[in-house]
Structure 1
Amino acid sequence: MSATRTGSVWRQPAQVWAVAFACVVAFMGIGLVDPILPAIADSLQASPVETELLFTSYLLVTGLAMLVTSWISSRIGAKATLLIGLGLIVAFALLCALSGSVDMVIGFRAGWGLGNALFISTALATVVGAASGGSAAAIVLYEAALGIGIAVGPLLGGLLGEQSWRAPFFGVVVLMAIAFVAILLLMRGPASPRQPMPLSAPLRALGRPALAILAVAALFYNIGFFVLLAFSPFPLGFGAMGIGFTFFGWGVGLAVTSVWVAPVLMRRLARTTIILTMLPLLAVDLIAAGLVVGNPAALVVAIIVGGLLLGIMNTVLTEAVMEATDLPRSVASSAYSAVRFIGGAMAPPIAAALAHAFNDTVPYFFAATSVLIAALTVLLGRRVLAHIDDAGQGAGEDAEAILVGDAA
């Protein structure tokens, strides 16, 4: 009997749990700075646009570095790549905590992004390769780690941010050091045979039509994602804890739908159908956020609803990318993630600039437009993505079976 039928997504080898824990901490780093953005702006005399560059430098370097991560990991191995990535995050998070100007924090966040790229692209391929229950179980576990990390990150950032804007960065240093030790001690077993990838492999991968369509769609989708995540702390007007609790709710919604709702939908619907349903709903939610931006309570509701929709989108897109080509998963993941993170890098400063030039409503309308462009990209490329729907017809059922387990 297959692992899919006999086991649960939660019954995994120790090395998978080590990588999953490190993923939680890595994804915490994305939302950790959310609650302290206003505090950083005040303490370091930075404008909102300058403060949003904390996201841009991090995400831009993460995206560009993704283009070389498969080349590196195919030569030095997954474990060494993960450890180097975690080590860089520890070093640059510490430098962020010790910085005396916003320019220094922006620069050190870029170094943090390099470590993040080495870790994230390798972690997904590692979890997919080592997890019990096949790729569906691995992706559910990976998305669960993403959801938990994104949920806990703002809450921890808010708690520590009440003490000082530097405290969340020190928190990352401690947690990433623990993750480093976990990978070092628990990731064992025979090394997989290394097949060195050419440096051009991710760029060539983007020449595959299905992967290119998904990458372009993800670029515009990520603009909506990061406008909601990175811009919203400013119009909310809350303190660090208020922002932290808001995005904790957002992250919990994202985690719940990515782990439990997305597999149920994939059992019933084609992947492209889910994407073409969720993206317009997300656009409506972003428009609503723009219309109620002056009402903090209503904006909180829009943010949390957005998290519910984003969770479904993240899982479905990740599964679609894994099935888009016959390329090694690390190459497909690196190529797709490079384009996706570049979209995320553009969003925060553009949103802040639009708010400064017009008002706080316009950034959300900009985000909604970007999300609709993502939907149009998938719609126009649906024929090219037909094989992804065919591959996904049993995936949702398998994923649901993995989640609930088989009592037999």
Structure 2
Amino acid sequence: MKSYSAGSDGLPRRGGFFDQPKAVWAVAFACVISFMGLGLVDPILPAIAEKLHASKSQVSLLFTSYNLVTGIAMLITGVVSSRIGVKWTLLSGILLIVLFSALGGAAGSIEGIVGYRGGWGLGNALFIATALSAIVGLSTSGTARAIILYEAALGLGISVGPLLGGELGSISWRGPFFGVSVLMAIAFISIVFLLPKTPKPKNRSSLADPFKALGYPALMTLAITALLYNYGFFTLLAYSPYVMELNEHGLGYVFFGWGMMLAITSVFVAPRLQRRFGSVRSICAMLILFAVDLLVMAAGTIQHSPKTVIIAVIAAGIFLGINNTLITTAVMQAAPVERSVASAAYSFVRFVGGAISPWLAGKLSEWYRAESPFYMGAFMVLIGVVVLIARRRHLSGIDAADAH
């Protein structure tokens, strides 16, 4: 996609991928640090279970409370940003993350950490929904490339986060929580000084806007698909650390490799697949491959082969990176509403999958067998494929846009 902006001579010039305003880079930098917070806690899940004498399902509630509050809070992000502006919404979200991540590190019980992670999720919702619309709105290189930049920041943050989390977690399980707090404080300062004051939207959003947006069949189809896909995504994040039989350092390196695959494919592979095969076909293919990958993790668990699970986790980053970019781009085209509203509506639905799967994965392993969570994850992802194919007619406009 080509985009043009006015040069100093008043003539239009092409906005390249790296030719972005400082404001875009400021938000992208904050995104990297924000998404580091997601992966920072992965290497310390077994350590938290051991130190606080908690079960897998109890520890998985760290993801459940975070995702549940994030999803619900997505409904108010448009209301907040339309009243106080993009910059102050971003800063408010970051400030909440700084506060609740520090409180999580100081907590003395699993219940306390779970509660503080919910507050962290509120800050995360305010930040990520606004960050995506801010990058797309401020970018000079067009929507598609702006989303790739956002996904690149996501991938970079997710890849570096576990590496840092493993190092800090080897000192203490509290280290990654305090690490997030410090990093987000740096992000807060960068936004304050690098992001100019942005005008408030002319029209104020209401709480009903995201629900109205879900009335568009294309957006609802993508949201349901993402809910089911996110189930598998967070099964991998929340449960796989328990079956890889690695310490904090080892888990950090595995998820670093996973995140690097996610970052590289989201930037360099997803756009090519989109141009050649279209969004819908490419998303279906990636979801099927991800489901197969989860089945490989199940097989590795049955065979007591941590190496198999490790390789499958890293490989999953390929499919997840491509799929993240494709679905996010499709969402921006799915409904004739403001990007922030579409993002909020979509994220509200998809984070439900991320809230259910971590807790249920832990319970399934306790109720049945160690490989059961991976089977359920693969099943849910495949249902997502069925939904996408069955409702494909609603997405014809997106494939037409890709072809154009």
What TM-score does the superposition give when structure 2 sets the normalisation length?
0.95
Deviation at 1:275, TM superposition (A): 1.1
Q: Deviations over 1:35-56 (max 9, x none)?
A: 0001111111111110000000
Does 2:27 correspond to 1:19? yes
For 1:103-131, what per-residue CA distance to the aligned partner results, in whole angstroms no more than 9, with x for missing partners?
00000000000000000000000000001
Deviates more, 1:81-90 or 1:7-16: 7-16
**How far apart are the structure 1 equivalents of 2:201 and 2:50?**
51
Partner of 2:8: none
1:235 aligned residue: 243
Query: Aligned with 1:46: secondary structure?
Result: coil
**Which residue of the partner structure matches residue 353 of structure 1?**
363
| 8 Å Cα contact 1:75-1:195 kept in structure 2 | no
Q: Are the equivalent residues in 1 in contact too, given 2:165–2:252 (CA < 8 A)?
A: yes
Q: Note the residue ranges of structure 1 that are not aligned, 5 or more in a row.
A: 395-408
* Contact 1:214-1:378 within 8 A present in 2 as well: yes
Partner residue of 1:131 out of 128, 139, 158:
139
2:226 and 2:151 map into 1 onto residues whose CA distance is 16
What does residue 70 of structure 1 align with? 78
Which whole-Å deviations, capped at 9, do the CAs of 1:362-391 have from their partners, x for residues lacking one?
Answer: 111100000001000100110111001111
Cα separation, 2, equivalents of 1:95 and 1:193:
34
State the distance in 1 between where 2:242 and 2:202 align: 47
What is aligned with 1:251? 259
Residue in 2 that maps onto 1:196: 204
Amino acid corresponding to residue 306 of structure 1 in structure 2: A
| Residue 168, structure 1, aligned to residue 151, structure 2 | no
Give the TM-score, by structure 1 length: 0.95
Which residue of the other structure, out of 266, 291, 316, is the alignment partner of 1:306?
316
The residue aligned with 1:40 is: 48
Structure 2 residue runs of 5 or longer lacking an equivalent are 6-12
> Are the aligned partners of 2:58 and 2:359 in contact in 1 as well (CA < 8 Å)?
yes
Alignment match of 1:379 (pick from 368, 389, 392): 389
Q: Do the aligned partners of 2:159 and 2:259 also contact (CA within 8 Å) in 1?
A: yes
2 CA distance for matches of 1:6 and 1:135? 14
Structure 1 residue corresponding to 2:153, chosen from 141, 145, 159: 145
Tell me, yes or no, if the aligned pair for 2:261 and 2:314 is still in contact at 8 Å.
Answer: yes
For 1:150 and 1:342, locate their aligned partners in 2 and report how far apart those are by CA, in whole Å: 20
One-letter code aligned to 2:351 = F
After superposition, the C-alpha distances for 1:150-173 in whole angstroms (9 at most, x for unaligned) are 111111110100000011111111
CA distance in 1, matches of 2:390, 2:90: 37
Match for residue 209 of structure 1 among 217, 223, 228: 217
Q: Distance between the aligned counterparts of 1:337 and 1:2, measured in 2?
A: 27
After alignment, is 191-200 or 291-300 more displaced? Answer: 191-200
Contact kept? 2:227, 2:353, Cα under 8 Å: yes
CA deviation string 1:149-204 (max 9, x = no partner) = 11111111101000000111111111100100111111115525432011110111
Aligned pairs for 1:49-128 within 5 A: 49-128=57-136
Is the contact between residue 69 and residue 121 of structure 1 (CA under 8 Å) also seen in structure 2?
yes
Conserved? CA contact 2:87–2:197, under 8 Å: no
Write the distance in 2 (CA, Å) between the matches of 1:169 and 1:51.
Answer: 15
2:232 equivalent among 211, 224, 234: 224
**Distance in 2 between residues matched to 1:306 and 1:370, nearest whole Å:** 16
Q: Give 2:342's aligned residue.
A: 332
Q: Which amino acid aligns with 1:320?
A: A
What is the DSSP-based 3-state SS (H/G/I as helix, E as strand, rest coil) of the residue aligned with 2:394? coil
In the alignment, which residue of structure 2 is the partner of 1:319?
Answer: 329
Q: Does residue 284 of structure 1 match 2:285?
A: no
Cα-to-partner distance string for 1:263-312 (whole Å, 9 max, x where unaligned): 11111111111011111111111111100122111111111111100001
Identical pairs, percent:
53
Alpha-carbon separation, structure 2, partners of 1:193 and 1:120:
18
C-alpha separation in 2, matches of 1:216 and 1:7: 34
Instruction: Tell me, yes or no, if the aligned pair for 2:86 and 2:198 is still in contact at 8 Å.
Output: no
CA distance in 1, matches of 2:236, 2:98: 27
**1:295 alignment counterpart:** 305
2:379 pairs with 1:369 = yes
The alignment of Structure 1 onto Structure 2 pairs a total of residues equal to: 394
**Partner letter of residue 207 of structure 1?**
G
Moved over 6 A (4+): none
Alignment CA distance shift 1:210-1:2 (3 Å) = closer
Q: Which amino acid counterpart does residue 359 of structure 2 have in structure 1?
A: P
Q: Which amino acid aligns with 1:365?
A: Y
- The corresponding residue for 1:9 is 17
1:304-344, Cα deviation, whole Å (9 max, x unpaired): 11110000100000000000011000000000001111111
What amino acid is aligned across from residue 168 of structure 1 in structure 2?
A: P
In structure 2, what is the Cα distance between the partners aligned to 1:380 and 1:283?
18
CA RMSD between the two structures? 1.2
Amino acid of the residue matched to residue 179 of structure 1? A
